[in-house]
Every structure is written in structure tokens, then in C-alpha cells.
Amino acid sequence: MIELLIPLQFDGYNYWDNPGEFHEGRASILLDDKYGFIDQSGKVVIAPQFMTAPTNFSKGLAGGIRDFSLVYIDDEGNTVVDTGFNGYFGVYSEDGLAAVMRDGLWGYINQAGSIVIDFQYEEALDFTDGLAAVKKEGQWGYIDRNGQVIIPIQYSAANEFSEGVALVSTDGAMFGYINRVGELLSGYEFFNKSSSFHQGLAKVHIIGNQDKFGFVSLVDEELAPTVQENAKPTSELNAFGGKWSTPGSDELAFNLSFTDKKNGVITHYSMGQEYPNNFGYIQSADNSVILRVGDDEQNRTTVKLVLGGDSLTYEQNGQTYNLERSGGSQVTNEAAETSLIDGFKGKWCDANSTFCIQLFFGVDSNGIIDYFKDGQISTSVDFKINYQEENYLELDAGGVNVLLTVDDDGGSMEFFDALSNVTMTRKE
């Protein structure tokens, strides 16, 4: 049961302006062209006073522009920091620093308002995992809270660290993931328009799967918190298993087996000999898997497999092989089972296509819901499935309870949350 606790009375309440998200017991609201804050009972506890949307509360402080000056207030509305200048601003991070801009350059202040990292950057992101991405002379790198460059300023694009991993690019088009010492965990050729890691998963756009997205997890044991040590591979992954070879020849022949949800063995056959190699893997989409073959992390070979029924495309080092089954498959009876979530996958829009959502399902009942406005993604929210049955899902999407009901023919869906009740149709 859903109960409306705070009446619909504030301006700007929609998915894109984003007032109404509670952080540390406060949510920003818009009244008469000024922003203030309410508590969880709906009472206005900080009078509307900000000229632009303030930050969420973080580390007990929220920032905003008041009377053309950047200030930070506490949860009672008391002014804690008054910078005396007008500029862009960020939230206070876990390190107690906030990125702020003055005279066109970014720096960082502490919770007392003192400048601790001077204004010198063209752009600057919040500190996460002890590091912040900064842009200088058109290139990005990472600094620590003392302003020391930890990862060289060398990237054309960079994102915040999340779960010890950050998404970077050297050309602005192709992306890969690095760890906190700058080591590349994936090739730039794999990921484009990808997301940060949340709950052990990241949404990725794989080259060759244009306009199709999937999820990846990190294959290194110490970087895979959501994968159980001895978890069995899924039936979808087992579909890749078995013996494969080039039709009519043994130019390329191998047997593939998955030992658990992050490892496996590929055994190549040549001149009557067997050559087994261990691999870690990520499942990039329902019909494709990327293998990292070998035991030496620095010298692993990357192989992409794309499944098409009883055929398999094998891509390595720019070469492509078309293979067919030459032996038994590992596919189990589980592969024939229809998942309860299949009917909810894909993109859904209202009658005018002004409000759309797209659902991506990961592992362990988690996933991401993208919200669209006028055809463009406006926000992405992690969700967890609270309850499911045929044609019905209950999601916890960033603290918001979302109910989805698909009709029997799978062509329309009812979307319901505390603010909306929308009939949506599936979009290709």
C-alpha cells in the first residue's frame, strides 16, 4: 500500500528538476521562484532563499546561491560558509571538501570555507574514494585531498571513482575502467557510453552492439564484491559452453566451460594436442561474453564471443572466426525457463513519448532504470526488486517504490509511483 504523506504543493516536482529527494532528513523544494528545504513531515524548515537549485545535504551542509553569493548552510538554515563570490559549486564529499568555481576556475574549500586547493582547474568533480577528477589544459587526471596529482592528467574524459573504479577515455569516444592507481582494467575498445559501478555492476555499451546495453562486473576476486565465490554460472552463460570449431576444418577449435560466475577454462585443440587456459569473464549482453584469457593479468588475451543459436562468432586481435558446434553443449534445462522479468525489459513510453523509462536487469535482483524526457536520458536510478510475479514487479528505485504491471500480450504497462500513474507502451 502506498500513502501520500506530503501533499502535492511545491513547484518543479518532476523527474528532471529533482527537488524532493531526501538527503540527511532534508529535501529541496521550489516555492515562488526560490529554493528552500522541507523535513520528512513536509514542514518547510529552511525558508526559500536560494536563486538556483541548491545541493543536497552532505556532511551536514548544503550549498546554494543566495543574494549572488555562494553559501553553505546547516540543516537548521544557519550560514556556515559564505564565500563572498558567485560561482558554480558541488556537495561536500566524504573527504570534507567541496568543489567550487571562482572567476572561471575550480578549486576546493573545506567545511570552514577555507581554500585548501587553489582555483586552477577548468573543471573539477567531487571527491570519491579519496580522489577527485580535475581538468587542466584540456586533459583530465586525478588528485588527492592535498592537491597532489595521483593519476596523471592525460585523459580526454574522466568520471568520479565508484567502488574503487573510474571510467576514463583517451579519445572522448571509447571508454575503459581504471583502478585507484591508474591501472587499466579493461581495453578502451569495449566500452562506450558506459556508467560507473554500483553494487558491483556497471551498465555498458559494447562496440558492435550499437544502441544495445548490458552489464559487466569486475572479474578480479578482490574487485568482485557481489559475486559469490562458488556461485554456479547462469543457464544463459552455459549456452556458450561446449566444443566449437570452424566449419569443415580445425583452423580454430576449442572447448569452453564455465566453472563459476566469474571463471572458466577454454581448451584449444591443435595437432592432436590440448592446450587449456583459465579465463575470467564479463557478460556484456544476453548473447555476448568477453573473456580475459590467461593467468597473468598484465598479459591476458581478450576474446569476444557472440552467440547465434548453434553458431558462434569469435573475435580476437582484430580477427573474426565464424564457428559451429562440434560437440555437446552445456545448456541445461534451466535455459528453457522463461524469466519473470523478460516481459519488462526494454523501453516504455507514455502516449506522447514525453515520459519514457528503460529497464536494465543485473544479477541478485538489482538493475538500473533510466528516465527519459523528450527522448533524452534525464536520470538513471539503481533499483532492487522487492517482489515479482508474472506480469508484476515492485521495485525500490532510489528509495521510491515503483509498481509495474504488464498486460497479457506484453504491449502495454502500467507505471505507478507516489507521484504518477501512467499507461505506457513498449518501444522498439
Backbone angles phi, psi at 342, to 5 degrees: -60, -40
What distances in angstroms separate CA 245 from CA 189, 259, 266, 314, 324, one per listed residue?
A: 25, 21, 13, 10, 6
Q: Which are the contacts of 14, defined by CB distance < 8 A and separation ≥ 6?
A: none
| Beta strands per DSSP E along 326-411 | 346-349, 355-361, 366-373, 376-389, 392-397, 400-406
Which one is predicted more confidently, 317 or 143?
A: 143
Q: Tell me whether residue 207 is in a domain.
A: no
Q: Tell me whether residue 109 is in a domain.
A: no
352 with 332, same domain: the answer is no
CA pair distance 359, 368, nearest whole angstrom: 6
Least confident residue range of 114-123, 155-164, 213-222: 213-222
Least confident residue range of 195-204, 240-249, 295-304: 295-304
390 with 376, same domain: the answer is yes
Which one is predicted more confidently, 184 or 232?
A: 184
283 with 330, same domain: the answer is yes
Least confident residue range of 54-68, 225-239, 398-412: 225-239
Does the structure show a pLDDT above 80 at 319?
yes
Does the structure show a pLDDT above 70 at 134?
yes
> What pLDDT, in 10s, does the model give residues 330-386?
333 333 233 567 788 888 998 888 888 888 776 556 777 888 877 777 777 878 887
Q: Can you give the pLDDT at residue 14?
A: 42
Q: Tell me whether residue 105 is in a domain.
A: no
Number of structural domains the chain divides into? 3
330 with 241, same domain: the answer is yes
Which one is predicted more confidently, 121 or 24?
A: 121
Does the structure show a pLDDT above 90 at 40?
no
> What pLDDT, in 10s, does the model give residues 328-341?
333 333 332 335 67
81 with 18, same domain: the answer is yes
- Range of 378's domain? 342-427
332 with 285, same domain: the answer is yes
Q: Tell me whether residue 120 is in a domain.
A: no
Q: Tell me whether residue 218 is in a domain.
A: no
Take residue 322 and report the three cell numbers written for it: 565464424
Listed residues 46, 61, 85: the one ending a domain: 85
240 with 332, same domain: the answer is yes
Q: Can you give the pLDDT at residue 2?
A: 58
Q: Tell me whether residue 263 is in a domain.
A: yes
Does the structure show a pLDDT above 60 at 201?
yes
What is the distance in angstroms between the CA of the first residue and the CA of the last residue of the chain? 32
Q: In this structure, what CATH number is given to the domain that contains residue 267?
A: 2.40.128.210
As to burial, measured by CB atoms within 10 angstroms (0-12 exposed, 13-18 middle, 19+ buried), residue 130 is: middle
Residue matched to cell numbers 566444443: 243
Please give the model's pTM, rounded to 2 decimal places: 0.48
Which one is predicted more confidently, 106 or 11?
A: 106
Listed residues 317, 336, 355: the one ending a domain: 336
258 with 304, same domain: the answer is yes
Q: Can you give the pLDDT at residue 330?
A: 36
Q: How confident is the model at residue 250 (pLDDT cuts 50, 70, 90)?
A: low
> What pLDDT, in 10s, does the model give residues 267-305?
888 766 778 888 877 655 567 787 878 876 556 677 888
> What pLDDT, in 10s, does the model give residues 173-183?
678 888 888 88
Q: Can you give the pLDDT at residue 333?
A: 33
CA pair distance 255, 240, nearest whole angstrom: 10
Does the structure show a pLDDT above 60 at 189?
no
Q: Can you give the pLDDT at residue 10?
A: 62
Whole-number percent of the chain with pLDDT over 70: 76
Bridge partners (DSSP) listed for residue 412 = 425
Q: Can you give the pLDDT at residue 253?
A: 87
Bridge partners (DSSP) listed for residue 71 = 64, 82
Q: Can you give the pLDDT at residue 353?
A: 85
Cβ atoms of residues 99 and 106 within 8 Å: yes
Q: Can you give the pLDDT at residue 240?
A: 84
Does the structure show a pLDDT above 80 at 219?
no
274 with 322, same domain: the answer is yes
1 with 33, same domain: the answer is yes
Listed residues 318, 336, 354: the one ending a domain: 336
241 with 306, same domain: the answer is yes
Q: Tell me whether residue 279 is in a domain.
A: yes
Q: Tell me whether residue 388 is in a domain.
A: yes
Whole-number percent of the chain with pLDDT over 90: 16
Which one is predicted more confidently, 184 or 217?
A: 184
249 with 329, same domain: the answer is yes
